[in-house]
């Protein structure tokens, strides 16, 4: 298994140009040649993956670093870990029965240290930042990404600055700040990228999110943190599922999960990929696939409760993942539908997902009839509903104060 290793180079997903590690100037920006073509494309790590028939695991490493041989890191760099990964795969038998499927499971990423799957990206990205001796890390985020990077930067003793927007919920701002990050809000989403580029160029800070416009995706090293979701799903389910439904914005998680399953094929652990499904509020991926385009968006947008994924743009890396897996897209633009799905999922599954994450459940319901009976489906539960309790509470009945009698209780409960 020692033959499984990171090759110390990054390759453009679109044109195949290889760049030496670290090629810091490309981080969050992508391949310069493709950028000049008007198609920003991420550069992602390369590995040597012989068909050994097994997944190399080192149980002496913390968290997701048990898969260190398949991560783009020096073997000497200490892992920056908070015990992320190893999240449960929760069976949803009532959902499966209702939709006529063999099984539906939720990969419950809310169990990560900052309660979202962004911890996987942040663990690997911040470890790489420490390896490179970065003076500080900077991230543009509406919440989960910023909170995760802030937490792991704190663990590593690295300065962290988060560029957000004023409209994000106070809970998200609090999470970013409580880990010690410097947090500032900008009026427009695109202003964050302008400021980030100046901080990169003038101060040498390492970007842990994208700053290209149109977007290319986040730091390629961090994208590979999401590969570990695929490894865990295959191990926990005992097989590769037929479908994996992912909440999608710039496609970091989607691309990483695709790359993880592709690793399993290359290693000889399995001979097939699942079909990936992109659950997206406004549909840039679906639009691009329908047109055969390599640029996803912009598409029209409206205010969305699924603010973590409510983007008018997709990315080339997201399109590549969908095309490689014969994937599907489902647009979930309606706020009332999203919040109704959140409440129904809470009642049916006993789990509370953020609005952006519950789009996977709504997408699966829309696909009912198109997904063959007997299919195994995994939903990626990317973040907890506790990140935006106010949006949920707005659709619930107020809790009434009652007299201590059964009749009073019945009247209050309707």
- For the stretch 57-77, pLDDT in tens is 999 999 999 999 999 999 899
For residue 170, what are its two tokens?
């106070």
For residues 387 and 172, the answer to whether their CB atoms sit within 8 Å is yes
Largest CA distance in the chain: 73
First to last CA, the chain: 62
Instruction: Give 117-137 pLDDT, tens digit per residue.
Output: 999 999 999 999 999 999 999
For residue 345, what are its two tokens? 């999922």
Let me know: does 160 contact 174? Beta carbons within 8 Å.
no
In tens, the pLDDT along 26-58 reads: 999 999 999 999 999 999 999 999 999 999 999
Q: What is the pLDDT of residue 62?
A: 97
Sign, Cα dihedral of 285, 291, 297, 300: negative
Residues paired with 108 in a beta bridge: 381
The predicted structure's pLDDT at residue 230 = 99
Q: Which of 324, 329, 252 is nearest to 288 (CA)?
A: 329
Instruction: Kindly report, residue by residue over 181-226, the tens digit of the pLDDT.
Output: 999 999 888 899 999 999 999 999 999 999 998 999 999 999 999 9
- Integer angstrom CA distances of residue 125 from 64, 81, 150, 206, 303: 12, 11, 12, 10, 30
Q: Alpha carbon of 45 to those of 27, 42, 61, 225: distances in Å?
A: 12, 10, 21, 11
Strands of the sheet containing 243-247, edge to edge, are 89-91, 103-108, 376-381, 243-247, 275-280, 328-331
For the beta sheet containing 182-186, the strands, ordered from the edge strand earlier in sequence to the opposite edge, are 182-186, 159-165, 136-140, 206-207
Contacts of 387 (CB under 8 A, 6+ apart): 115, 116, 143, 144, 169, 171, 172, 175, 354
Residue 2 pLDDT class (50, 70, 90 cuts):
low
Alpha-carbon distance of 186 to 195, in angstroms, equals 9
The radius of gyration of the chain's CA atoms, rounded to the nearest angstrom, is 21
Residue 71 DSSP SS3 = coil
């Amino acid at each position: 298994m020692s033959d499984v290793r990171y090759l110390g180079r990054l390759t453009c997903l679109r044109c195949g140009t290889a760049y030496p590690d670290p090629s810091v100037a490309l981080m969050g920006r992508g391949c310069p040649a493709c950028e000049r073509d008007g198609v920003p494309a991420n550069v992602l790590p390369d590995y040597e993956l012989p068909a050994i028939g097994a997944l190399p695991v080192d149980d002496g490493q913390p968290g997701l670093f048990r898969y260190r041989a398949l991560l783009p890191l020096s073997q000497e760099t200490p892992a920056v870990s908070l015990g992320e990964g190893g999240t449960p795969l929760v069976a949803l038998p009532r959902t499966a029965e209702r939709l006529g499927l063999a099984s539906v499971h939720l990969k419950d990423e809310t169990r990560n240290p900052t309660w979202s799957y962004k911890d996987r990206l942040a663990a690997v990205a911040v470890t790489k930042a420490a390896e490179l001796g970065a003076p500080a890390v900077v991230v543009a985020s509406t919440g989960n990404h910023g909170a995760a990077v802030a937490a792991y930067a704190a663990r590593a003793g690295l300065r962290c600055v988060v560029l957000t927007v004023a409209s994000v919920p106070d809970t998200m701002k609090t999470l970013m700040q409580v880990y010690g990050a410097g947090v500032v809000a900008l009026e427009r989403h695109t202003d964050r990228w302008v400021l980030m580029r100046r901080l990169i160029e003038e101060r040498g800070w390492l970007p842990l999110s994208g700053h290209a416009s149109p977007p290319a995706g986040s730091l390629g090293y961090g994208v590979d943190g999401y590969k570990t979701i695929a490894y865990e799903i295959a191990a926990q389910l005992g097989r590769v599922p037929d479908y994996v439904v992912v909440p999608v914005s710039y496609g970091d998680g989607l691309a990483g999960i695709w790359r993880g399953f592709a690793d399993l094929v290359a290693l000889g652990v399995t001979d097939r990929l699942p079909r990936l499904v992109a659950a997206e509020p406004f549909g840039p991926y679906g639009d691009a696939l329908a047109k055969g385009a390599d640029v996803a968006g912009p598409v029209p947008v409206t205010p969305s409760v699924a603010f973590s994924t409510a983007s008018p743009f997709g990315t080339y890396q997201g399109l590549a993942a969908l095309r490689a897996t014969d994937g599907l897209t489902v647009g979930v633009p309606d706020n009332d539908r999203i919040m109704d799905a959140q409440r129904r999922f809470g009642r049916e599954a006993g789990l509370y997902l953020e609005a952006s994450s519950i789009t996977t459940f709504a997408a699966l319901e829309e696909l009912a009839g198109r997904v063959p009976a007997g299919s195994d489906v995994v939903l990626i539960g990317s973040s907890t509903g506790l990140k935006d309790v106010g949006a949920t509470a707005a659709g619930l009945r107020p809790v009434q104060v009652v007299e201590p009698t059964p009749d009073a209780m019945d009247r209050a409960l309707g």
